[in-house]
Amino acid sequence: MSSSGADGQPALKRTRVNEPNQNDTVPLRHSDVWFDDGNLMVIAESTVFKVFKGQLAKASPIFHDMFGLSSSGVDLLDGCPVVHLSDSVEDVAVMLRAVHQWQNYRYQDLQSFTTVRAFLRMGKKYSIDFLWEDGLRRLQSDFPPTLQCYEGAISDWITIEHQPGITYDVISLCGEIGVLSCLPFALYVCASENNFQNSIVAGWVRDDNSVAKLTPEDQVRCFRGRERLLAFQAEESFGWLHPQDYGGNGSVTCPSGANLCRVAKLELFARMTSPPFTLRALDAWDETWEHEICAGCIEVGKQEFEDNRKTAWDRLPSFFDLPPWSELKSGDSF
């Protein structure tokens, strides 16, 4: 692949197959996806890519069928047939690089969100299986659709490079391409932000100084979901700290009868349900919660907390006014 600068380059000329005398100058810019021995010109947003027709046809049944049509009336550019795409030049560039040099996109390497978004958009639109599958796998790794995947995450960002506002962009993308299984956790991440109210309303400034914002509908989902999750964790996740947790009538608050344990539980409950309000319904058990609490209460608390953690995950879509997990996951294939 060779690279040509956009400034000072000779103007490319385009002629039509059935109009050999036409010689209109077209203001096209070379992209850096340019194979000198390529046999196809792809144009998006006045940017031209020189690639191989056979590679595109092999990767995409859509392009395969397109190239199989009659060549009568097809544009030519420097002797090569031309394909005009209505997609963004950014998405087209990612698609063409990946189709021609897929070995450069190793799954173990972090990819930018714009790259993953292009994989999903272009993979779905042009039925390019390996792009769609890689993009979906990356999206679901960082915004898991199952509790098992969530627990298996070894870091906050596994396959996608973090950038300001990325979760808001993921929520927008999920609605655009129909990968709704990533929405509940993405909304949970937004609802968990420390500066929740300000960030939900104002959005996040991206690295290019543009602003990532949620739609009004998704803002409402976040507010409602956060309030429901806070109520759930106070009543269920930390229900084992309630005085009435043992005995059913509030008469027994600790199997050992230790006053120190009862006080420690009440103090912990107050910390968990007082400002600043922090979402913990999906958190793992924290051993710091065990301070001065007896072994019997810890045993009961761990079991109840874990059971309710699973319940919180199962109910996560409903907290944000979304359909159940089974319905959300049904749209994960194109």
| Within a domain: 296 | yes
Which residues of the chain fall short of a pLDDT of 50?
2-11, 13-23, 245-252
| Within a domain: 279 | yes
39: left (phi over 0), alpha (psi -120 to 50) or beta: alpha
pLDDT given for residue 252 in this prediction: 42
pLDDT given for residue 25 in this prediction: 54
Give the dihedral of Cα atoms 313, 173, 215, 209; nearest 10 deg: 120
| Within a domain: 295 | yes
pLDDT given for residue 10 in this prediction: 39
| Within a domain: 177 | no
Contact call for residues 1 and 33 (beta carbons, < 8 A): yes
CA distances to 167, 186, 223, 280 from 193, rounded to whole Å, are 11, 11, 12, 12
Q: What is the largest CA-CA distance in the chain?
A: 99
pLDDT given for residue 197 in this prediction: 86
What is d(CA 233, CA 312) in angstroms, rounded to the nearest whole number? Answer: 8
Contact call for residues 132 and 334 (beta carbons, < 8 A): yes
pLDDT 10s digits, 79-132: 999 999 999 999 999 999 999 999 999 999 999 999 999 999 999 999 999 999
pLDDT given for residue 6 in this prediction: 40
Task: Work out the percent of the chain whose per-residue pLDDT is above 70.
Answer: 86
Count of domains for the chain = 1
pLDDT given for residue 8 in this prediction: 39
Q: Spell out the residues 6+ positions from residue 200 whose beta carbon is closer than 8 angstroms to its own.
A: 190, 193, 214, 219, 222, 223
CA distances to 137, 240, 328 from 94, rounded to whole Å, are 17, 51, 28
| Within a domain: 250 | yes
Across 32-69, b (16+ Cβ under 10 Å) vs e yields ebbbeebebbbbbeebbbbbbbebbbebbeebbeebee
Q: Which domain holds residue 281?
A: 228-331
pLDDT given for residue 258 in this prediction: 72
| Within a domain: 218 | no
pLDDT 10s digits, 3-24: 444 443 434 544 444 444 444 5
| Within a domain: 121 | no
| Within a domain: 322 | yes
Beta-bridge partner residues of 19: 16
pLDDT given for residue 248 in this prediction: 42
pLDDT given for residue 262 in this prediction: 87
What is d(CA 272, CA 281) in angstroms, rounded to the nearest whole number? Answer: 11
pLDDT given for residue 147 in this prediction: 94
Across 296-305, b (16+ Cβ under 10 Å) vs e yields ebbebbeebb
